[in-house]
Chains A and B, each alone.
Chain A
Amino acid sequence: MSLEANSEAKRFYSTSSPWEARIGYYRAVRRGQHIFVSGSTAADPDSPPEAPRVRYPGDARQQARVTLEEIIQAIQAVGGKGAESVVRCRMFVSRKEDCGVVGEAFREILGKQNGGQLRRVRGRLVAISISAQSCRQHHPLLPPLLPPACRSSTNMRLQAALLAAACISPAVAIFSDEVNHIDFHHALLGAPSSDSTFFLKPSSASNASLLYTLSDKLILGAVNPRDGALVWRHNISRSDSPAGGAGLLRGLDGNNAVVGAAGDYISSWSAQDGKLIWDQQFDGNNVADIELLELEDVTATSDTRDTLALISGKSFGSVRRFDGDSGAVKWEYIDESGDIPFQVSSSPTEVFYISLQSGLLKSSKIKVTALDPITGRQTSQQVLNTEGDITGPESVLFAGANTASPLIVWTDKAHKSLKINVIGSKQISSLAIDNTSGEEIRQITVHAPHKLNSLPHFLVHYKTGSGAWAEVYHVDLKSAAVTKAYQLPYLQGQSVIATSSIDANVYFTRVTDSEVVVVSSASHGIIGRWNVDASSADYAQAAVAEVVAKGKSVAVRAVVLRDSGDWQLIRNGQIEWTRPEALIDAVAATWVEAEEKEDLAHELEVEGHDSIHGAYIHRVKRHVRDLQHLPDWLKALPQRIVSSVLSDEVTNLDSFGVAKPVIVATRSGRVYALDTGRQGAVIWSVQASEQAWDVKDITARPGQVIIDLSDGSYVSVNASTGKTSTHTALEGTKVQSIANFVVSDGSSLVRLGGVGIREDGSPVTPFNDITGFLVTTSVNGRVLGWIESDNKTPVWEFVPPSGQKAVKATARPAHDPVASIGKVLGNRSVLYKYLSPNLVLVTAVNEKDHVAGLYLLDGVSGRVLHSATQAGVDPTQPISSVMSENWFAYSFFGDAIGESSAKGYQLVISELYESSIANDRGPLDAAGNYTSLHSSGAESLPLPHVVSQSFMITEPISHMTVTQTRQGITTRQLLCTLPSSNSIVGIPRPVLDPRRPVDRDPTSAEAEEGLFRYAPFLDFDGKWYLTHTRDVAGIKDVLSRPTLLESTSLVLAYGGDIFGTRATPSQAFDVLGKSFSKLQLVLTVVALTGGVIFLAPVARKKQVNLLWKAT
């Protein structure tokens, strides 16, 4: 055996197999991160090449074993890890009956992690070929949130992407030790729904359980209960699904799959890794309920249990049993009686279909149909006399899911008595509700275990306005009689109950204001109690718990969903983690200055406006006042020195404005403050509006944040405490956007005022105190220009031609500094940039004939300076555009219309110059000013010279923005949101230069300028991904903001997840790197000083001696 290494490119491994020598191939080849093992069999290495033989003739199992061992050896020989590196395996078996034993050998050697395929071939009994991958990390390009329907169609693309990505994976966008240091990510699910959240062991083999949930945003996810990290998640909402309430999620201990349903879509996912097992969509028919069949058939072969689903159509209800592995329908029971399908449930022997039969006067009766679990045939049917109590599905409190004695629980309308029916019997037990609290009962919930072998106990939780109590009931299995066992006392404040079971024992965990209590269902003795300080106004809504018995005592983990949307895990009374799930669906965000910075800015402002004498006195006073911080400062000094030498980051950059707090407003009316310096930790959060609100704008003012709403009112939020105050508008006019009059003053922005814009594009009030023009858009797709004194008639109006409607208008960012007004060419001549702060880029689309127009307008006169038309544009795909400095970019999906056009996602970039000739400043030449108001004249605005180029890209871009730095010296990055791969990519501007030479290599002058040959296909480099391996889903908007460091730009993405990072498009050139060792520097200086001190007397003595000798 020999290993031949051929530099970086390829590594080969060959064995003494007779076929290898005869045909001339290698056993394994490694190229980059991929290892390919050629077809292997149990070849006898001792046999001659002329007459090759196999080992273990006739024994397929041994042959498979030998072959697989050989393969693993080959993988290890070229640098792979071994069996765990294998990603694909194809096996050919010549006799069908050998498949079983070969499979066993496969499982024995390769374990469970791989998807193998068995195929039949002639000749040898077994032949195996394998592809392995030696890279260890999870790759960013694999989008786990991809909808399963797209998965098969994008399979090829994913493979290609993986292949391309594997080549570049060693160089990632940021260093691994910077992850979580310069960036943070809230991977969110949304508020978990209480009946679809549970702890579950992901497979029968695992010891630890994961926390599974389906949120109100219909995101199905698994969370690691240890640290609250997201393991996997999928969005199971379908855009074409009918809006059908909350989703459902079911899982069973010992089952490998969790099954989720939302609307008309049902899907089964591998509990361990979130891979799709099967899915079904029922066009327009809602899934009303799902259950996993816990009972096992004799015929059952796999670990995956079958699913029962109740599908509610317009005029029928249908119960179906789906095979756990394939999703095939085993049987179907159709009910066409016109009842409202309600739920399915199962007992050890039967499946129950519960429907509501409408009776007189809007009241309903409960009908229970028992079905045979094997065949789905109806075995019995009962109608419970519930008239008067039940009016609809919402008045049934509980319909027992998979308990040993499934129950239906409801109450009478006055909450006087509780009615209980053990499903399968006709008997209704009525129990009086003993309400001693003196308050009206607001809410009754029933908690029962969900396992077949649990004790038939359940708990009823009564909630009043200010407190709650609970009662535990036992069901006698034989007589179906229900008796009250004991009561958990009435307590003021919040109280939530969670049920959990160990084997047959049932435990109830009660989380209240001051404690967490665990009781067994059998007796009222408290078996676990922990004090918890959770007495906030932030009430718990629901909880799930996992109880572990440790000898006589118990340990409990309870996950509590609070009113604020926080999802909190309390382990034995300790809060382990909190996930701010209400952060999902953020609609607006802004950075605010830290408080002390603002104080100083305010003081400086005072000094600036004072007389010289007054300012001097003010300043002296300020410094004297500052002296009070001196002792603290001195005290902190040694620690600061030590930490600056020892800390990871050489310089603490927080004082350079890289750790600014962020204020985020969500659609549900909450406002959060996040500390970007501490992984986006929540500083405070507040419910600023009771209902969902329509936020139009968010602006940071000194000390506070103003959130403008669509009804003209605004909410001001104190930036440091979160105290809110609402200011209603005088006249309730609906505004579609807010105009902010912001001018750039040096490197800071000054806000002069603002005005609301109505839906027709007109300003709500004249803006007399501002000199300038205002450009707005109207809902009917026009762009309007206004002058300060008149808010009735616009001074100009731009109507896109040929039936197009303006869908988007953008302008240069308010802070968009230009470092150089010209572009220096290779021969050191200058192309002057066409720079105007008044430019407007309008994207207009004609949805009928699929034409998109891009119009560059002058915002003052409304004149069209440049226009471009794209035919074959798909208006349903995202069209995004951005403008900065002297260039604009847009992206769309284009169809092949003409000969030269291409089908696919395109990114077009256009640069504007004053003239096509170098060293020429156009007709205005050296004039310092120009006006847009005179179309002809010496000072009028000339048309730009536009250079454009388009690139083909692989993915749609839903949003574009540009990195902002303090002085604009740093290269800009085009930040593109890629919704299909859940990532954000920062494309460096030099790559998108439209002047790149086409179809030829650059001349030396062009090369000196940094231009390289144009390639129509723009492949996103792995180093460009700001999100690196993170899966940043649902991003609607990306913000960028300069810091005091010219190299660094802050980036914040929000909309679904929240992601924040620092972008350094030209590397962090003004920050000392981590390789710079302060300690080494200090030690060197100390050593040199020591050397000088030691050597100085010696040298002096020598000199004196020399003088004596010379004479």
Chain B
Amino acid sequence: MSALPPPPPPQWVVALNSPMPRPSKAANSIPDPPGFTSSNARGGKQVSLHNPTWMPRDFEHVTDMHQRQQQDKQPATMRPEETDTLKLKKAWEIAMAPSKQLPMQAIMMYMSGNSLQIFSIMMVLMLFKGPIQGLINTNAAFAKYETPSTKARLVGVKAVYVLMQLLLFALGVWKVNGMGLLPTTRSDWLAWESERQPLERAFFAFK
């Protein structure tokens, strides 16, 4: 049984399926008209906007407006449970973020060697700075996702976050130990040990 080939799709379908070629670089550099924000730029900014601890209040409105616009595009409106799930999902992402650094840092530390040089020392310092700052800012990092409803569930997320930071910290300790900077051996405490003194004293007359 042979059938006729389907009729060619209409022009708009073709246009829909195959997007426009990427605008050229020159086109990209054309500044946006005032009041217009391209979706690309907004997407790029999104990450930083998610963590708006430093933002002034009225600026948040703008962000909220953007989000609302985004949500408006979606077919269904979000329910509070869904928002919470989403927030939790985001929180998990943040909690697991340090673990992504772990293999990279481990390789870097391994490759940098155990010699005491300015670069390896600086790398180790940076390695310590990250987890320590992260640990101090634990609550701040999750403040955005903390709502009365998610609070209980965020405890576990925070614990994982702390654990991950501790893992990074442990990596730093391992590295410092490898560099021989930890006083873990007997020789490190040798200077505090004293010579055993005899109770009797002998004098000599050889010559």
Contact = CB atoms under 8 A, between A and B. Distances in A.
Nearest to B191: A820
Interface in B155-207: 180, 185-188, 190-191, 193-207
A676 B157 CA distance: 78
Contact of A930 (B190, B193, B194, B198): B198
A490 interface: no
Given A771-B201, A773-B201, A828 B196 contact: no
Nearest to A808: B206
Nearest to A834: B196
A818 B185 CA distance: 21
Give the interface centre of A837, A927, A941 by most chain B CB atoms within 10 Å.
A837
Interface in A723-779: 737-743, 755, 757, 770-777
A739 B203 contact: yes
Given A821-B193, A924-B196, A737 B203 contact: no
B157 to A, nearest CB: 42
A829 B198 contact: no
A838 B202 CA distance: 5
Contacts, number: 117
A777 B205 CA distance: 8
Contacts of A777: 205-206
Interface in B124-167: none
Contacts of A829: 185-187
A1067 to B, nearest CB: 23
A919 interface: yes
B207 to A, nearest CB: 5
A120 to B, nearest CB: 63
Given A824-B187, A824-B190, A739 B204 contact: yes
A76 interface: no
Interface string A923-944: 0100111111100000101000
Interface residues of A, number: 53
A927 B196 contact: yes
Interface in A807-839: 808-811, 818, 820-822, 824-825, 827-830, 835-838
B204 to A, nearest CB: 4
Contacts of A928: 194, 196-197
Contacts of B204: 739, 774-776, 809, 811, 840, 859
A808 B194 CA distance: 32
A39 B185 CA distance: 66
A739 B190 contact: no
Nearest to B185: A828
Contacts of B198: 836-838, 860, 929-932, 941
Contacts of B191: 820
A1031 interface: no
A830 B186 contact: yes
Contacts of A738: 205, 207
B200 A776 contact: no
A310 B148 CA distance: 128
A739 B205 contact: yes
Interface in A686-743: 696-697, 737-743
Nearest to A812: B204
B196 A860 contact: no
Contact of A929 (B188, B197, B206): B197
A929 B195 CA distance: 9
A738 B204 CA distance: 9
Give the interface centre of B191, B195, B203 by most chain A CB atoms within 10 Å.
B203
A821 B200 contact: no
Interface in A908-934: 918-919, 924, 927-933
Given A696-B207, A928-B196, A929-B197, A830 B202 contact: no
Contacts of B180: 828
Given A828-B187, A829-B186, A810 B206 contact: yes
A820 B186 CA distance: 13
A776 B205 contact: yes
Contacts of A810: 206
B201 to A, nearest CB: 4
A1106 to B, nearest CB: 31
Given A809-B206, A830-B186, A931 B200 contact: yes
B186 to A, nearest CB: 5
A838 B201 contact: yes
A887 to B, nearest CB: 16
Give the interface centre of B199, B200, B201 by most chain A CB atoms within 10 Å.
B200
A772 B200 contact: yes
A757 B187 contact: no
Nearest to B188: A828
A579 B187 CA distance: 55
Contacts of B195: 818, 821, 835
Nearest to B201: A772
A773 B194 contact: no
A739 B205 CA distance: 4
A757 B207 CA distance: 11
A183 B22 CA distance: 85
A860 B202 contact: yes
A828 B203 contact: no
A710 B60 CA distance: 104
A697 B200 contact: no
Nearest to A939: B199
Interface string A608-649: 000000000000000000000000000000000000000000
Give the interface centre of B188, B197, B200, B204 by most chain A CB atoms within 10 Å.
B204
A931 B199 contact: yes
Contacts of A830: 186-187, 190
A144 to B, nearest CB: 32
B202 A773 contact: yes
Contacts of A931: 198-200
A739 B196 CA distance: 25
A392 to B, nearest CB: 42
B205 A737 contact: yes
Contacts of B202: 772-775, 785, 811, 837-838, 840, 859-860
Contacts of A776: 204-206
B180 to A, nearest CB: 7
A777 B206 CA distance: 7
Contacts of A918: 186
A811 B206 contact: yes
A407 B180 CA distance: 91
B140 to A, nearest CB: 38
A808 B190 CA distance: 35
A933 B199 CA distance: 9
B187 A774 contact: no
Contacts of A828: 180, 185-188
Interface string B17-43: 000000000000000000000000000
A697 B207 contact: yes
Contact of B199 (A742, A821, A825, A930): A930
Contacts of B203: 739-742, 770, 772-775
Contacts of B205: 737-740, 755, 757, 774-777
Contacts of B197: 928-930
A822 B188 contact: no
Nearest to B199: A931
17 contacts: A739-B203, A739-B204, A772-B201, A773-B200, A774-B205, A785-B202, A809-B206, A811-B206, A828-B187, A860-B200, A924-B196, A927-B196, A928-B194, A928-B197, A929-B197, A931-B199, A939-B199
Interface of A: 696-697, 737-743, 755, 757, 770-777, 785, 808-811, 818, 820-822, 824-825, 827-830, 835-838, 840, 859-860, 918-919, 924, 927-933, 939, 941
Given A775-B206, A860-B201, 18 more contacts: A697-B207, A739-B205, A772-B203, A775-B202, A777-B206, A810-B206, A820-B190, A821-B194, A822-B190, A837-B198, A838-B198, A859-B204, A860-B198, A924-B196, A927-B196, A928-B194, A929-B196, A931-B198
Closest 10 CB pairs of A and B: A859-B202, A739-B205, A828-B185, A772-B201, A838-B202, A824-B187, A811-B204, A773-B202, A860-B200, A931-B199
